[in-house]
Amino acid sequence: MVQEAGQSFGSVGRPMRCSSCNFENAAGKKFCIRCGAALFYRGFVDSEGPKWRLIPLEQIDDIRNAITWLEAQPEVDPQKIGLWGTSFGGAHAPYVAAVDARVKATVGQVGFEDGASFLLGVRGAAERAELIRQIEEDRRMRVLEGKGRTIDPFERGLQNQHSRGFLSKALQSFPQMRCLLSWQTWEKTLEYRPIELVDRIAPRGLMLIAARDDNICPLKGYEKLYEAAEQPKKLVVFPITHYEIYAGRWFKESADQAAGWFDLFLK
């Protein structure tokens, strides 16, 4: 795993905010400069492991291993570790907090409540049936032939009017974001359900930051996750689409909200 230090490294006993990143690694880097450290999962950026392997529960293990590493650093107060995640990481952060009490405060941003809703909820009936067919076919190929197929995770986003502009510029500025995922990623994502565990986070704090007009991770997913969680909790909704949160005013406002939440529970 690759870990990048931000301003929270410095003096012994400072709180640590661990930023859980996925494809939007540029946003994670920007956030870590503001609030703490960013991790990149196995197989992404310069991390070790099979290239571009994305299995949700394996990434949960990666985050927990990063927490263990942070606890061992002399400049980190192990009683003041918080977790921030965006998009796919916006589902991972609540999941990790639910199963790992070492996380004392959590912020999830433009994420989802369960993988089935994330993958199937934004598709029509015919698209859902085709996705399931492709997943089942790929599973047979992996088992019987020893190798499955890959998919470009940005292809659908580049066809979407709300995300096309941002993604095109981001991929031009950060070409390392380009990747090919296994169809096994979608299979394991369908089985991934943070909502079943989120009530375990209390009495530690959970903040969810959502985009009202998000058609990548629709607002209703975070509303369900918020309802399933116990207090203390907070839901912040900005009048934007999914990718608008990664730049300009809305990046600053979301970072301010997250930093304030961490200050409330980690100082």
Determine, yes or no, domain membership for 77.
Answer: yes
CA distance 185 to 163: 21
Determine, yes or no, domain membership for 238.
Answer: yes
Residue range 180-239, pLDDT digits in tens: 999 999 999 999 999 999 999 999 999 999 999 999 999 999 999 999 999 999 999 999
Determine, yes or no, domain membership for 212.
Answer: yes
The alpha carbon torsion through 94, 207, 186, 119 (nearest 10 deg) reads: 140
Determine, yes or no, domain membership for 182.
Answer: no
**What is the pLDDT, as a whole number, of residue 25?**
45
State the total domains in the chain: 1
**What is the pLDDT, as a whole number, of residue 156?**
73
Determine, yes or no, domain membership for 125.
Answer: no
CATH number at residue 198: 3.40.50.1820
pTM for the whole thing?
0.86
Determine, yes or no, domain membership for 171.
Answer: no
Determine, yes or no, domain membership for 221.
Answer: yes
Weakest-pLDDT range from 4-13, 114-123, 184-193, 231-240: 4-13
Residue range 44-57, pLDDT digits in tens: 766 677 778 899 99
Handedness of CA 208, 212, 217, 218 (dihedral sign): positive
The domain containing residue 227 runs over which residues?
A: 2-118+193-266
Q: What are the structure tokens assigned to 1, written together?
A: 């795993």
Determine, yes or no, domain membership for 139.
Answer: no
